[in-house]
Amino acid sequence: MVLAYSGGADSTALLLALLAAERGSIEVIVAHVDHQLAPGSADRALEAERRALSLIEQRRPGCTGAAARFVALRTSVQTAPQAPRSMAEDHGIEANARNQRYQLLEQCREQHNCSLILTAHHASDQLETMLLRLSQGSGLFGLSAINKQRGRLWRPLLRTRQNHGPTSGDLREILGQESITWVEDPTNQDRRHLRNRARNELLPLLVAQREIADDAALHADRLAGSALRVRRLLKQKLDARFGFQTTDRGASLDFDQFLQADTAVRELALDALHRSAGLHYPASAAAKRELHRQIAAHTQPSRSPKRSSSTGRGFGCSCGDGWCWRVRRASHHGRSRSLLTLAQSEPSKEPGVPPFAYTLSIPGITPVPELSCSLEASRARAESWMTLRWHNRVALFVPNLQANVTVRNRLPGDTVYPFGARSTRVKLKKLLIDRKIPQEQRDALPIVCVDDEIAWIAGITTAEPFRIPSTTDTTDQSLVTLRLQPLPQPSHAQLANPFRFNAS
């Protein structure tokens, strides 16, 4: 088995228990992951290795207990530019570190042909997680908190049917009795992280009242167990209705069934879709509202020709951290159906450009994988560069701070007020013909809309209603600036995208 070993008190206590186990030939791979997130992490990794090897040497005379060896793993955590799905400020970096840690542990398990991965989560961790999720407005999925076992991952220090399991204080007391020391990670004292504030400020108040703390830990664990059972039953029902499918890049569900569901069931289905894709948190309420807005715009009848003609087209919606929802047609068991997919944004590798639509985060960066680019948006005051014409950047006059700004490709029936023509609306098709834009490139033009009115066609024109007035006050943040940038592209592949962007 692989033991996730940080060198701290909890994992050291679990290592001690494993080394004392009299179960014949048990091999324990003691795996330490250095995320390189804080200064001194390499030194702490070396100290964790020294202490683990010393403990192994002391506690396995004659190899009567578990045979053990140490494995050092290193990774570099990449933080997402934005994390609208997170409820805490530090969710992005914590989630990325956790995901990479478990990926490395799973690779280690496979490499050493082990059956299980063990972590040292205990009753205090369960209570801490439950309190955090309650404070953040968690739903049923969140209330199931830390599971004792999930696949090959096992947390043996969590409760049994007879006992709610040891607390952090219990484990440290055991180590103290054995005169065993551990490595303290100073980042665990960083109060900028919400979990650390709960661990170092809230939980000690409970521990001071031991009877309350014991009852709280027990009841939190029971509630987590009940939520987990309901969650598994609910998953069976949702799977049967929505036909979730998973791939190495994400997950999908039956979009036709999704449209027929009421609001509450849709909410559960979206959360289950995120879980199916391997994400630990559901999308934010704001991202879900935007998805439902786009669904309504693409499925409800409208007198607008550009809207009514969009029925049956696919579209996309960012849900943060580089993940996107998309609706597309697919063939399944000989019949065509619509799927709502959730996948990570990647530069498009297919010829042609599929339909897409994304709402921009202001300020923020929105990936547009269909065009192998991203769009950075922000509010700004008037500057000299804004009066010039740029291929990949623009400033738009958008005084309404609540305006909905989107980027999409063209729709049949699109019209626009070209620059300098406030009273003359022209068809987008005619404008592109006049500008001699090849037909095969027209679907690859990013079109920015403000409240469904075309405001900018990248590299072509800024719409007259959104040009910067000469009377604009330089202290007024009534302008939205946009900048197109290329997405990172694999060096081994040429992407078939007819519209190229320069970062300059």
Among 209, 235, 261, identify where a domain stops. 235
**Token pair of 373 as six digits:** 């680019």
Q: What is the CATH number of the domain that holds 145?
A: 3.40.50.620
Question: How many domains in the chain?
Answer: 3
Among 284, 311, 344, identify where a domain stops. 344
Q: Please check whether residues 211 and 252 belong to one and the same domain.
A: no
Residue span of the structural domain in which 127 resides: 2-235
Q: Is 50 exceeded by the pLDDT of residue 65?
A: no
Q: Please check whether residues 322 and 250 belong to one and the same domain.
A: yes
Interatomic CA distance for residues 458 and 446, integer angstroms: 6
Q: What angle do CA 100, 33, 179 make, to 5 degrees?
A: 145
**All residues at 6 or more sequence positions from 245 whose CB lies less than 8 Å from its CB, including other chains:** 251, 252, 253, 339
Among 344, 362, 384, identify where a domain stops. 344
Q: Please check whether residues 333 and 392 belong to one and the same domain.
A: no
pLDDT tens sequence across 332-359: 566 778 899 998 766 555 456 777 778 8
pLDDT for 399 equals 87
Of the candidate ranges 55-59, 462-466, 472-476, the one whose mean pLDDT is the lowest: 472-476
For residue 300, what pLDDT band results from cuts at 50, 70 and 90? Answer: low
Q: Please check whether residues 379 and 485 belong to one and the same domain.
A: yes
In a 3-state reduction of DSSP, which class is residue 118? Answer: strand
Q: Please check whether residues 21 and 141 belong to one and the same domain.
A: yes
**Token pair of 210 as six digits:** 């031991």
Q: Write the DSSP assignment of 311-369 as a string of letters.
A: TT--EEEEEETTEEEEEEEEEETTEEEEEEEEEE-----SSS----EEEPPSSEEEEEG
Q: Please check whether residues 371 and 404 belong to one and the same domain.
A: yes
Q: Please check whether residues 71 and 12 belong to one and the same domain.
A: yes
Evaluate whether 81 touches 92 at the Cβ level (below 8 Å).
Answer: no
Output 457 or 63, whichever has higher pLDDT: 457
Q: Please check whether residues 107 and 163 belong to one and the same domain.
A: yes
Q: Please check whether residues 340 and 355 belong to one and the same domain.
A: no
Q: Is 80 exceeded by the pLDDT of residue 475?
A: no
Q: Do the strands 461-462 and 453-457 form a parallel or antiparallel pair, or are they unpaired? A: antiparallel
Mean pLDDT across 218-222: 73
Q: Please check whether residues 210 and 250 belong to one and the same domain.
A: no
Q: Please check whether residues 306 and 423 belong to one and the same domain.
A: no
**Token pair of 24 as six digits:** 């014949």
Q: Is 90 exceeded by the pLDDT of residue 244?
A: yes
Mean pLDDT across 161-169: 58
**All residues at 6 or more sequence positions from 311 whose CB lies less than 8 Å from its CB, including other chains:** 298, 299
Q: Please check whether residues 401 and 418 belong to one and the same domain.
A: yes
Crossing angle between the packed helical segments 9-19 and 41-59, to the nearest 10 degrees = 20
Q: Write the DSSP assignment of 162-225 as a string of letters.
A: S-----HHHHHHHHHHTT------GGGG-TTSHHHHIIIIIHHHHHHSHHHHHHHHHHHHHHHH
Count of Cβ atoms closer than 10 Å to residue 144 Cβ: 22
